[in-house]
Structure 1
Amino acid sequence: MDQVVAENGVQQVELLFAVNDDHGGVIVEMKEPMDSKAFLSLLRASISQWKQQGKNGVWIKLPIGLVNLVETAVKLLVVQEKSGRLQGKGIWKIPTGVVDEGEDIFAAAVREVKEETNIDTEFVEILAFRQFHKVFFEKSDLSFLCILSPLSFDIQKQELEIEAAQWMPFEEYAAQPITQKHGLFKYISEICLAKVDREYVGFSPLPMTSSFDDQVTYIYLNNHDLNQ
């Protein structure tokens, strides 16, 4: 394990030992047994430090003997809504919302999570999108599945719209009957699992300046493969 070093000496803040990868992230390879609560504390402190260093991602390698740490390492932020078709059904879903006029997709995703759960996040990628026809005012609608990285962990649910909110082990979310049967929920689960397994690359926002009016807009692209 590492320690955080300040200008005036060494602060007693333990971090998980990590090595840099080839894509601006870090790799943590766990080898020694550890209590899951201690691991969670170290993981949170480490993620905070890596964010300050500008790291793009964290990959954790766990041998089968440390399976007790998997639940801590892979969790989703999920909510139950107070209104809509899922009201009162006890179904856990990822936070959702609507993009405001003039708002970028990545900013809307961060804002909606903050409004519903008070969790601060950093946008990572658009993993997928779906087109709906004849939705609001008989117009087409685009729905984007996004992945964000948490910058805080203590949940304070929005009382007006959210019945409950929690961090849930991915396996528990995927085991819900609706996740197994409903097409959209099933694909969300499969895509998230592919991302966790480091097999799936989504689309990241890249700022662009218009040659006509100097307005900054964003193009979403597979930045990983583009830079290969």
Structure 2
Amino acid sequence: MDNEDQESLLLQGVPDNYGGVKVNLTEPMTIEDFVPKLRASLVYWSNQGTKGIWLKLADGLDNLIAPAKAEGFVCHHAEREYTMLTSWIADVPSTLPANASHRIGVGAFVLNKKTKEVLVVQEIDGHFKGTGVWKLPTGVVKEGENIWEGALREVEEETGIKTKFVEVLAFRESHQAFLEIKTDIFFLCELEPTTFEIKKQDSEILAAKWMPIEEYVNQPWNQKKELFRFMANLCLKRLQEMEYMGFSKVLTTTSSGKESYLYCNTDHANLLNATRGLASTSG
């Protein structure tokens, strides 16, 4: 059997960087056609010393999930457009990474330095429904969105206020927080307002206003709940002691050339941005 005939009996895969194979199926296939090709491919990949198999089934190929599981595959994760299954066929312990385990949230400390007021909202639904608590605008960072971009977007969506990113003041993590499974990482970002007229989001926000920062900090909720007290006091400290510095962003690229942001101490971020393109020295 020549290579062309052999390939027609196998599922077409692309090697990954870790000794595995990625298979992306997008066209309809019957179970009768799929199962023999999968079994032959598993034998072939095993003989080639392949370790892990990533089997991506496009939306509409749900008929292939059960047959794949019958051949040892397990569901890794699912999105609207596809279902991803994996199989580890090497004799060594699996090194396939688990599904994404974290959700990224952002909160926005939007400070009007002239009036010493902070932008706050009351939510229609959720944990704070009916509490009367005034809170910072918050939300979840979308897929493919940078942390600072998520903070700007959430503020504008909820209040209509346009802002500029200043820095990350702090972050916290909480395990088994989202769906009682995923870890939630929350970044508190300082933003500088460039507009001041509030136009609240009617679907999610009950009310929005500029509040004196001391009044925000001294709310009973913030004083009784330790984490909220810590974060509120941090915002107050930032106003009173501007030398408190968080993390600013530096635009850079990954080793593969993709745009990325490095967050580091504001003084050093300013230095990196000012000396961009210059060779580093040891002093």
Q: Give yes or no for the alignment of 1:184 onto 2:184.
A: no
Distance 2:196 2:207 in 1: 15
- TM-score with structure 1 length normalisation? 0.66
Distance 1:122 1:95, change over 3 A: same
Q: Could you tell me how far apart the structure 2 residues matched to 1:82 and 1:173 are?
A: 19
Aligned residue number for residue 197 of structure 2: 154
Q: Which runs of 5+ in 2 are unaligned?
A: 1-110, 273-283
- Displacement after TM superposition at 1:210 (Å): 2.0
**Which amino acid in the other structure matches residue 185 of structure 1?**
F
CA distance in 2, matches of 1:85, 1:186: 17
Question: Residue 25 of structure 2 aligns with which residue?
Answer: none
Q: Which residue of 2 aligns with 1:170?
A: 213
Q: 1:199 aligns with which of 243, 259, 267?
A: 243
**Aligned with 1:190: secondary structure?**
helix
Distance 1:144 1:204 in 2: 12
Q: CA separation in 2, counterparts of 1:169 and 1:110? A: 21
Which of structures 1 and 2 has the bigger CA Rg? 2
| Distance across 2 between alignment mates of 1:133 and 1:73 | 37
Runs of 4+ in 1 over 6 A off after TM superposition: none
Aligned residues: 158
- Is residue 209 of structure 2 the alignment partner of residue 209 of structure 1? no
Letter of the 2:120 counterpart: V
Q: Which residue of structure 1 aligns with residue 136 of structure 2?
A: 94
Q: Do 1:78 and 1:166's aligned partners in 2 also have CA atoms closer than 8 Å?
A: yes
SS in 2 for 1:140: strand
What are structure 1's unaligned runs of at least 5 residues? 1-57, 61-71
Equivalent in the alignment of 1:47? none
**Paired residues of 1:125 and 1:202 also in contact (CA < 8 A):** yes
Q: Residues 1-228 of structure 1: matches in 2 within 5 Å?
A: 73-137=115-179, 138-196=181-239, 197-212=241-256, 214-225=257-268, 227=271
**1:191–1:200 CA contact under 8 A, matched in 2:** no
Partner of 2:108: none
